[in-house]
Each structure stands twice: as structure tokens, then as C-alpha cells.
Structure 1
Amino acid sequence: MSYLDTTKDIYKDAALTPNVGLCCTTNPIWELPGLKIPKIMQEMNYGCGSTVHPRDLTNNPKILYVGVGGGMELLQFAYFSRQKNGVVGVDVVDEMLEASRINFEEAEKLNPWFKSEFVDLRKGDALALPLEDNSIDVAAQNCLFNIFKEDDLKAAISEMYRVLKPHGRLVMSDPICEQPMNEALRNDERLRALCLSGSIPIKDYVKLLTDAGFGTIEIRARKPYRVLNPKHYNTEELIYIESIEVAAIKDPMPKDGPCIFTGRAAIYFGDTEYFDDGKGHILFKNQPLAICDKTANALKNLQRDDLYISESTWHYDGGGCC
């Protein structure tokens, strides 16, 4: 039995018997005006953050969500879409798809605006998505990619890239870990299925996305998530795991490499009204400008005494240099 079979079994059980402690989302359950989330969906919120960002969801986008869980984020996406089959939910576990269908019936009772037909539930594998090329505006996954080993992870990212339209975005929440893990942890199929021992460093995570062709990467949040301690896990040192929220945008790859936003900013405080670096970046006096890491390094190399370049905050909310 492969590690993916173990994963299917765990989430089959989680579909049949909701497991509140299966994952530990770092986000509160927010409810927009007129949006009521059934309790059962909250109990089946098997993620480590949120992939629902209103600024991604303008102009009636076609949305894909892979790994449906109890349907909570599908319902949140449908709040912005409100059209038949506007949201596609894909899962490989039959029991999870059926649980979501039942949960949507409960959501209809609580939300007069919602119809189950807004969500198109499909049996399918993240490694071979049942969608056409260039057909999706916003794709999302929450605490799913962390389960995959490297070759499967590359395939899953490639599939998301394939189905996205040009300039479409892949929005994700996954655990990361900057510490090395021993092979016993890495090969523990249950810990991998629980989105723990598959955690990789953020630079490796980003490289997988840019290697797939995504030209713009936004690190939107980085938060504490879990610890693996020697008392309860097969490790000699305490392992600290964080969760990140990331958007990878299917922009053309710039000739000088991807634009990776990690929450850095530039502030010009010179004697003139603005500073123009001659490369498309204009900084008005005393007004912070969000910049990608590539631009941050280029501005630092100018060695000006009237420019301040901040370090990464790992929080980026749009706008800026690119």
C-alpha cells in the first residue's frame, strides 16, 4: 500500500466521522454578510489556513478547489461566484465528496442565496485533474500539497499550472519547516497524511512553483502551526512547523527571474519629491512601496543613503513594484 493509499484511508475516516483535531487552522472562521457556515463544515475544516481572499475573486471567476474537505471553502468561494458550476470541487475520496454534498444541503437551509448547483463536485486526482487546459481563473488547495512526496508534488503543481488561464492564480495554504527531519519522520505515512512530516523549507516550496513556470509568487502570511516534540514523536529535537498562505500567479516568467513578494518595502527619504531607478520603479518621498525580493536586492546594491529597504515580513497584500 502506498503513502497515498494511507492518506485516502485517513480522509475516508474523517469524512465518515468528522475529526475536529485532524488539522489546526490558524485562521478564525469568518462569516461575511449573509454567509452562514454550517457547524458540520466547521468541524470538517481540514486545513492549516485560508485560501479565500476577496481580491482574488472579482469579475465572476471560474474557481477550482482540490481536496474538498467538508465543503467550507467551497461555500465561501460560491459566496463570491453565485453561478451554476462556478466552483469546481475535486477529490479522490468518494466519502468526502458525498459528505460535502450532504453539507451543501445544510448550507442551502442556512443561506437563502446559496444553491448546491453553484458547486460542481467531481471525482478526480490532483495528479491528473479532470479539467481542460487554461479553463480556471483561481485554483486553490489547503493543506493538500504538503502530503505529496517530491515527484508527486511536482506533478500536482504542474497540473494546477496547466488548468489555469494566463494570469490565473493558484492560492495555497501549507505547512513549512526550516529544520531538517530525520528519515523516520519523513517516511511516517500517517504523519505525512496529517500534513506534518511532508513540510519543506519555504525556499524549496517557492522554487517548485517557479520551476513549474509561475512568474509571480506572493507570500501572504506566515504563522506558527505545530511542534513535533521528542516525547511524542520519533525525533531527538523539537521540530517547529509553520503554515504559509501563498499565491502563485501564471504570469510570464521575467527574463531576470520570478518576482517573489515576501513583504519587503522600500522607502525613499531624500531631498527630491521622488526617486526613479530607471527600471520602472518610482518611489515617492516617505511613501513605502511594496517590492519583490529581486527589486529589493537591486535597490540595495545601489548603496544609496536615502533609501531604506526592509527585511521580509512574510506578509504581502498586493500592490507594489511589479
Structure 2
Amino acid sequence: MKNEELKNIVKEKYSEIALQSKHENETSCCGSGGCCSDVNYSIFSESYTHLQGYNPDADLGLGCGIPTEFAQIREGDTVIDLGSGAGNDCFVARSLVGASGKVIGIDFTEAMIEKARGNALKLGYNNVEFRLGDIEKMPVTANKADVIISNCVLNLVPDKIKAFSEIYRVLKPGGHLSVSDVVLKGELPEHLIQSAEMYAGCVSGAIQMADYLQIMADCGLGNIQVQKEKMIMVPDEIFLNYISHEDLAGFKNQGAGIYSITVYAEKPVNSQGCRCGCSC
């Protein structure tokens, strides 16, 4: 499918997710409607309940890590959350930046932005802002963020070179990112890659871990470190809705796997322009 088709699939499905509870989303990404009811988000998500700033109304259970735990956010920082959803990571980040800092959430799903803004209003926060926009072309000026975070979102962006080029542009020189995401080791079966449902479920949109890290480097980011890595155990019965027993056996026999990683990287202090060749 073309990039715009993939974006529309993600926008449609996450618009439905925005209207559901955390329990419904963890049970199935579109609940009883069944649009992708075989993708169980509890496979990916981690608990935020122990974190300062956690707000249950903002937690839709859609992450695959907790980037704020690794992001080295300091008081007074400007933090940007890519794919901010209902605001879960933004509100945790806000507890770290304090009253002197600022948090900006970016999401391209109108329903998510509306939900996040409503949550911020109820909490009375005046230094948390949510902007409707595309990660491939962020509604943010250059050299804005001290820290960029993202949680299980960049795998859904069709053009990851554009996404990381934009991250580079928006980070201040010396700024850094910490993103949690889904990556692969080994090749997925072709039918799984082609499945729109599994794309919106964060699986078939994932790329090889080595390629992911290389794109970050090619876009000018440095000091790249994998802060956390864990294998995601997807039940066979989910895979078998999309691929044959033979394909599943081949996938396992080659030692392939789906992983959640949290990755750190920096924009060099002496950065000038970008290295991606896109004039960003």
C-alpha cells in the first residue's frame, strides 16, 4: 500500500481506539467492533501506575515501553511527545519538567487530540499543549526540544527517514531523544507484512532493528544506545489469523522475533543542517 493509505488505516483505527477504555484497548485494539480484534495490546504495554504524573484517564494501554524512565528529563526542559495519544506520557513528562518546563504532544488523529486536550483541561495544566500534526512534518519550529520521546508510534510511520529527519530538525543542538518502539530481528512472513490490521497493531509496520538504528545515524543522530530490549511473545493463535502453520514454523525456525526497544540518541552540539539530504 502507498504511504497515505497506511496513514489513513492508522488514523481510522486509532480514532476508534480513542473512544474506548484502557480495558477495551488491551483486550482488542478496536474492542467489540472487531476491526482488529486479534491484536491484544497487553502483549506490548507496561504499567505506568507507579509513576508520578500518571493519570488513568490518559492511559489507553497502547505503549510498548516507558520512555520517560530513560529520557533524562530535567526541570525546565521542553519535551515533545510524538504520537501523544490521550496524553499519558505527556503528563508523566510534565511531572518531571515542573512548572518552568513545557510539554508538547503531537498526534495526527483528531479524536486523540480532543481527548488529550480534555484531560489537560481537567487537570488544570497550562504548560502541556497538544498539536494536531504529522510526525513526518511536525508543526514545530527547528531547535525547539530539549528532549523528544515517543512510545510505540514510529513503527506506524511509513517514511521513517522523514520522521527521524524531523526529529533531528526539531531537537536543540545537544538535545536528545528516548523512544520506545517495536522492531524485528529476522524477516516476517510476507502475508503478515501485507496485513493492514497487523500494521495498525504495530507488528507489520516494524523494521529490522539494525535498519532502525542505521536510519537514526544516517539522519545525523549520535551516541545511539539501546537502553532496554525485550522480546514480545505474540501468541500463535494471533499469527495464525494471518499466516499458515508452515509460515509460522519457518518464522520461528529462523530465530526471528519481534522486540520492544527503548533507544537513546543525541543531536550533536555543533550540528549544522542535516545529513539526510532532504534540506530539513
TM-score interval, normalised by the smaller of the two chains: 0.7 to 0.9
Matches within 5 A, 1:57-68: 57-68=73-84
Determine the structure 2 residue equivalent to 1:20: 26
TM-score, normalization: structure 1?
0.69
Q: Which runs of 5+ in 2 are unaligned?
A: 30-40, 271-280
Check whether the contact 1:216–1:249 (CA below 8 A) recurs between aligned residues. yes
Which residue identity is paired with 1:75? Answer: F
Determine the structure 1 residue equivalent to 2:57: 40
Determine the structure 1 residue equivalent to 2:225: 218
1: CA distance, partners of 2:193 / 2:153: 16
Determine the structure 1 residue equivalent to 2:135: 126
Deviations 1:242-271 (A, max 9, x none): 100001111269xxxxxxxxxxxxxxxxxx
Determine the structure 2 residue equivalent to 1:172: 179
Deviations 1:87-140 (A, max 9, x none): 00111111101111222345x2xxxxxx32121111111011011111110011
2: CA distance, partners of 1:226 / 1:5: 28
1: CA distance, partners of 2:5 / 2:111: 19
Which residue identity is paired with 2:182? Answer: P
Aligned-residue offset at 1:85: 7.0
Which residue identity is paired with 1:137? Answer: D
Deviations 1:138-190 (A, max 9, x none): 011111111133xx111011101100011111211111111211332212122
Determine the structure 1 residue equivalent to 2:14: 11
Determine the structure 2 residue equivalent to 1:277: none
Check whether the contact 2:143–2:173 (CA below 8 A) recurs between aligned residues. yes
Relative to structure 1, the CA distance from residue 85 to residue 36 in structure 2 (aligned partners, 3 Å threshold; closer, same or farther) is closer
Structure 1 vs Structure 2: percent identity of aligned residues? 27
Determine the structure 1 residue equivalent to 2:260: 243
Check whether the contact 1:227–1:240 (CA below 8 A) recurs between aligned residues. no
Q: CA RMSD in A?
A: 2.3
Check whether the contact 2:228–2:262 (CA below 8 A) recurs between aligned residues. yes
1: CA distance, partners of 2:196 / 2:93: 31
| Structure ID, larger Rg | 1
Relative to structure 1, the CA distance from residue 57 to residue 154 in structure 2 (aligned partners, 3 Å threshold; closer, same or farther) is same
Deviations 1:36-92 (A, max 9, x none): 5333323x1311101103661124110000111221111000001223770001111
Check whether the contact 2:71–2:177 (CA below 8 A) recurs between aligned residues. no
2: CA distance, partners of 1:173 / 1:139: 11
Aligned-residue offset at 1:202: 1.5
Relative to structure 1, the CA distance from residue 85 to residue 189 in structure 2 (aligned partners, 3 Å threshold; closer, same or farther) is farther
User: Higher relative contact order by CA 8 Å / sep ≥ 6: 1 or 2?
Assistant: 2
Aligned length, in residue pairs: 242
Check whether the contact 2:75–2:101 (CA below 8 A) recurs between aligned residues. no
Check whether the contact 1:214–1:252 (CA below 8 A) recurs between aligned residues. no
Matches within 5 A, 1:1-322: 2-18=5-21, 19-21=25-27, 22=29, 23-24=41-42, 25-32=44-51, 35=52, 37-42=54-59, 44-53=60-69, 56-83=72-99, 86-106=102-122, 108=123, 115-149=124-158, 152-227=159-234, 229=236, 230-235=239-244, 236-237=247-248, 238=252, 240-251=257-268
The ranges of structure 1 where at least 4 consecutive aligned residues each deviate by more than 4 angstroms after the TM superposition are none
Name the structure with the higher helix share.
2
TM-score, normalization: structure 2?
0.79
1: CA distance, partners of 2:149 / 2:191: 30
Q: Which runs of 5+ in 1 are unaligned?
A: 109-114, 254-322
